[in-house]
Amino acid sequence: MMNTKNEERLFRVLMFFSTVFIVGVLLLIVGSVLYKGVPSLSFAMLTSIPKGGFYFGEDGGILNAIIGSLYLSFGATFLAFIIGWPIALYMNVYLVKYHTLVNAIRFVFDVLWGVPSIVYGAFGFILMVFLGVRASLLAGIITVSLFIVPIMVRAIDESLKSIPHGLLESSLSLGSTRSEISYRIFSREAFQGIITAILLSFGRAIGDAASVLFTTGYTDRIPTSLLEPSATLPLSIFFQLSSPIAAVQDRAYASATVLIVMVLVISLLSRLIGNRRF
């Protein structure tokens, strides 16, 4: 029979190891991807498009995927921002009296946040077929923005929520309209939170593969208009890793390295800008 003291000791050891395990796994993931990817990175890899097809051609690089991913993520984040930012402000400046309603809206966005991106992808595909649009950058931007608006809304909402109520009341009593309070006072007050929300959404947009699989397509070229299909980094990894040709697999590892570096930079930036809780 184990007494409490020994039991506590045992569990403290287990707790310590599970904490170390999480740190170890993160290092292992980043380490193993960089270990494979860094040797295949070169200037030519980053600045040329695949020659002779992304699946069979041995020459060329991943510029199409880098540019495509940037176009897609900037577009989707911008669209999600001009939809999500006003929604979050509306909930906290206009609807502030209706607690139940605001909580219900939060509930809906929380649930939408949890919907798998493949479902958004399938939905985007239905919309495309319905509207008669081919797989294109535009279709991808719309689908991805649908899927990051909930993230944008809830993240901005969290930082607006913490603004003291008195600020709203005193601004109103000085004669500000609610839209002025929203965009001039509340947005300034929550500036750091808004930047963090944008970075968070951007990170999600650039890393998601399932939602762009149906909607953005894949091509060797760099898109010149919104109606052309486009390559993206996650799909560049996914497609090229399954190739039997080693030189093509190298392109996948190089893409993985670029993607992981981008994501790390984004999370570093958001840590620097919005000095987070704790």
Q: Closer to another protein at the Cβ: 28 or 245?
A: 28
Binding mask 40-79 for another protein (x = CB under 8 A): ----------------------------------------
- By CB under 8 A, which span of 40-48, 88-96, 155-163, 185-193 interacts with another protein? 88-96
CA distance 233 to 140: 13
Query: Cα(89)–Cα(130) distance, rounded to whole angstroms?
Result: 33
Among 62, 250, 259, 274, binds another protein (CB under 8 A): 259
Alpha carbons 156 and 138: distance in angstroms, whole number: 25
Closer of 34 and 63 to another protein (Cβ): 34
Angle between helices 63-89 and 137-161 in degrees, nearest 10: 40
Which tokens sit at 186?
């509340």
User: Which residue in 195, 204, 203 sits closest to 113, CA to CA?
Assistant: 204
The verdict on 22 binding another protein (CB under 8 A) reads yes
Write out the binding residues for another protein, residues 215-254 only, by CB under 8 A. Answer: 234, 237-238, 241, 252-253
Selected binder of another protein within 50, 61, 193, 207 (CB under 8 A): 207
81 sits near another protein (criterion: CB under 8 A): no
Cα→Cα distances 254→35, 39, 80, Å:
10, 8, 29
Single out the residue of 23, 131, 246, 272 in contact with another protein (rule: CB under 8 A).
23
Residues 55, 239 contacting (CB under 8 angstroms)? yes
Binding-site string for another protein from residue 95 to residue 114, where x marks contact by CB under 8 A and - marks none: --------x-x-xxxxxx-x
Closer residue to another protein (CB): 5 or 165: 5
26 binds another protein, rule: CB under 8 A: yes
Q: Does 195 bind another protein (CB under 8 A)?
A: no
Cα distances from 14 to residues 6, 21, 25, 27, 39, in angstroms, run: 12, 10, 16, 20, 37
Query: What's the rounded Cα separation, in Å, for the pair 251 and 42?
Result: 10
Q: In the complex, what is the shortest distance from the CB of residue 92 to another protein, in angstroms, rounded to a whole number?
A: 11
